Amino acid sequence: MFPRVLLVLALLWPLVWPLTARAAPDYVGSAACVDCHQDVAEAWEGSHHALAWTSADAAHVRADFGDTTFALGDMTAEFRLSDGVYGVQVTETDGSVTDYKVHSVIGVAPLQQYLLETEPGRLQSFDVVWDVERAEWFHLYPDQDLPPDDGLHWTGPYKNWNGRCAECHATGYHKNYGSRTDRFRSTQAEIGVGCEACHGPGAAHLAWTEGQEVTDTGLDSVGFSMTFDMDNRDGYVDQCAGCHSRREPMGDGNPLPGTAYHDAYTLSLLRPGLYEADGQIRDEVYVYGSFLQSKMYAQGVGCGNCHDPHGADLLIEGNGLCTQCHSPAGNAAFPTLRKAAYHTPDHHFHETDSAGAQCVSCHMAERVYMGVDGRRDHSFRVPRPDLGAQVGAPDTCTDCHSDRTQDWAATEIAARFPDSQHRGFHYGETLAAGRQDPQAAAEALLTLALDDTQPGIVRASAAELLGTAGLATLPDLAVPLLTDPDPLVRAASARLQAAAPPATRAARLMPLLSDPLRMVRVETARSMLDMSLQGLRPSQSAFVRAAMEEWQRSMMTRLDYPETHLVLAGLALSQRNAQAATAAFRTVVEMDPQRAEAWVMLVRIAHATDGPRAARSVLEDALAILPADPALAQLDNQLPR
């Protein structure tokens, strides 16, 4: 369907690197682990990990498929069970009627979602889901009653299971998308998050149990690619973060367990729409980006200090989880922690055992996603209604006391904690100012980016905003960031050298092109797209080309994303390649006809290359799909009829 993809890549790069298939890993399946590891296997079998993706059978389906019906506007879904086969008949808003067999099941609680195969190999997440607690069907997006040709419809690219979700619900997963055919040939060693999803392929371990020596240098002494060690906190967190984060993958499926996070993914920074200005969660960003902001992470706390990885439960329920460290006794593993009584009304000022007396109520804000799924903010912050009022962010006080104002809450906290050290400067003030006017906030953003006492994700977010500030002296002032210990900061710093003289810029960025982490190399390559290789030494040119090719290979694993083709189109425009840009923008609107920005660019390119009549023809196609779009309406007024 999209053969022009290869044309775009061929036009933009002299060599299109093929995606070499990874050798079939030696996975053995979770069942092979049970005999020797019965205790953890028992905990895992009923966990959210094990049930992240299951077959559609009576053992796993929780919804009522007994000829039940759900309707939203002109869309109707009729659920049935016939001869042990679960199915749904969907009547769309355009009147089309399609029968689907339920392919498989996502999750177990608090909701359960169902996958439908819309064409061979293509799995889509149906938007009508089952509320397990209330035992009823509901729609994930009740405000959307979309036709099938809308990109946000459940059959569209953003609800595709193969490319958007399966990697974190399967073991040994490969997406295997064919851009020529627009088809998926996805494979996995096991559906669900099995033992090998975290520990790595198990064949070498089984051989070790039979007395064979482990000879592969990439494996540990017992034959696994990932060793879980509480003393290796960063490696432990990296393994969990691969799925528990908002990120962009750089590969075609599951990286080998044990792979460094920043070798496999590009983490989303604290951007508007994803995070509040003070770093609190806004959209569904999962955990890692929040946890990186926390003082707990800075002091060496890891996922395993609170969570059982096999049962996917908390180690201790209630406040006992927090008071294993936050108590008068403290915890010898974290000697800098202040010893004090927190599980007391003198601290929380709420009735004992009430919701307000729970540590998480004040220090881990809960936001609800997918209609009924509450997720906790893992930045573990002190409530700051005073900051919220200043930067436009919510706070946990008025989450509960919704009839009160943030000013009231700030006054109450000031009265109850008069000597608090938590009412001073917060990085949210700078990020909020930078979002509003990066040029006016440039000095504060630079100060924050250079402040190595702040979390790396915060400093990288400040650097990203700083890149749009137009500060003339920025390249020289930002030099220290290029060698920062935090890879997020190093990656963000590359773009801050854009205004440096070409030779200076090349010399400064060259070390980042050989950075040990792929994310840094790729982000640096992206920042150098406008640079000419003329004048560089052959060895320097080789580093640039290698990083560019790495970025290219990463994009080729995401050709099922409309967003990728927008990037390709922008790249083509930066190289003044109208043919490639047109091909890429065309692919975008074929995948998602509602991408108005792509239509606008197609109109403008047609006008520049073929004149007003050609531009008018493209515009008419766009207006037939998006008649009310303001940008297209503006073009409609400008172009002759």
pLDDT digits (tens, 9 = 90+) for 438-461: 999 999 999 999 999 999 999 999
Q: Which residues of the chain are under the pLDDT cut of 70?
A: 1-25
Give helix 562-574 / helix 4-12 axis angle, nearest 10°.
Answer: 40
Q: Write out the two tokens for 86.
A: 């679960």
Residue finishing a domain among 95, 122, 140: 140
Q: Are residues 468 and 489 in the same domain?
A: yes
Q: What interhelical angle do 442-450 and 456-466 show, nearest 10?
A: 150
Residue 417: which of 459, 443, 383 has the closest Cα?
Answer: 383
Q: Which of 247, 250, 253, 282 is nearest to 264 (CA)?
A: 250
- Which residues have a Cβ under 8 Å from the Cβ of 161 and sit 6 or more positions away? 115, 123, 124, 125
Same domain for 575 and 634, yes or no, is: yes
Does 134 fall in a domain? yes
Contact 471, 453 (CB under 8 A): no
Angstrom distance (rounded) from CA 616 to CA 377? 49
Residue 587 is predicted with a pLDDT of: 96
90 and 135: one domain? yes
Tens digits of residue pLDDT in 251-271: 999 999 999 999 999 999 999
- Give domain status of residue 389, yes or no: no
Domain that holds residue 123: 57-140
Q: Cβ(239)–Cβ(258) under 8 Å?
A: yes
Shared-domain flag, residues 449 and 552: yes
pLDDT for position 145: 85
As a whole number of angstroms, the distance between CA 282 and CA 255 comes to 28
- Which positions ≥6 away from 362 have C-beta within 8 Å? 348, 356, 383, 396, 397
Do 563 and 545 share a structural domain?
no
- Residue of 631, 592, 586 whose CA lies nearest to 152: 592
Residues 529 and 570 both lie in one domain = no
Single out the residue in 140, 162, 180 at which a domain terminates. Answer: 140
Asked if the structure places residue 595 within a domain, the reply is: yes
Cα–Cα–Cα angle for 553, 559, 560, rounded to 5 degrees: 145
CATH number for the domain spanning 604: value is 1.25.40.10
548 and 456 belong to one structural domain: yes
Taking the C-alpha atoms of residue 44 and residue 194, their distance in angstroms, rounded to an integer, is 8
**Per-residue pLDDT at 641:** 84
* Alpha carbons 310 and 305: distance in angstroms, whole number: 13
- The distance of Cα 445 from the centroid of its chain, to the nearest Å, equals 24
Q: Would you state the pLDDT for residue 532?
A: 82
Q: Is residue 40 part of a domain?
A: no
513 and 632 together in one domain: no
Shared domain check, 549 and 431: yes
Judge whether 254 and 167 are in contact, CB under 8 Å. yes
| Residue at 629 is within a domain | yes
Single out the residue in 529, 556, 583 at which a domain terminates.
Answer: 556
Q: Measured between alpha carbons, how far is 16 from 10 in angstroms, rounded to an integer? A: 6
Residue type, 314: L
Tokens of 51: 């049930």
Nearest to 495 by CA among 534, 461, 518: 461
Report whether 591 contacts 565 (CB < 8 A).
yes
Helix (H, G, I), strand (E, B) or coil at 57: coil
DSSP for 196-214, written as a single string: HHHH---HHHHHHHTT---
How many structural domains are present in the chain?
Answer: 3
The pLDDT value recorded for residue 24 is: 45
How crowded is residue 313: how many other Cβ atoms within 10 Å of its Cβ?
13
The answer, as to whether pTM is greater than 0.85, is yes
Positions of E strands within 172-241: 177-178, 183-184, 190-191
Distance of CA 589 to the CA centre of its chain: 23
Task: Identify the bridge partners of residue 122 per DSSP, sorted by sequence position.
Answer: 119
Helices (H), 279-405: 288-291, 295-298, 320-323, 345-348, 359-363, 385-391, 396-400
Instruction: Pick left, alpha or beta for residue 5 (phi over 0 → left; psi -120 to 50 → alpha; otherwise beta).
Output: alpha
- Asked if residue 497 and residue 609 are part of one domain, the reply reads no
pLDDT of residue 3: 54
Structure tokens at 185: 């040939």
Rg (CA), the chain: 26
Residues 308 and 306: their CA atoms lie apart, in Å, by: 7
On whether residue 485 sits in a domain, the answer given is yes
Q: Which residue has the tokens 């137009």?
A: 470
Domain contains 228: no
Q: Which residue has the tokens 């959209």?
A: 283
For residue 345, say if its preceding peptide bond is cis, omega within 30 degrees of 0.
no
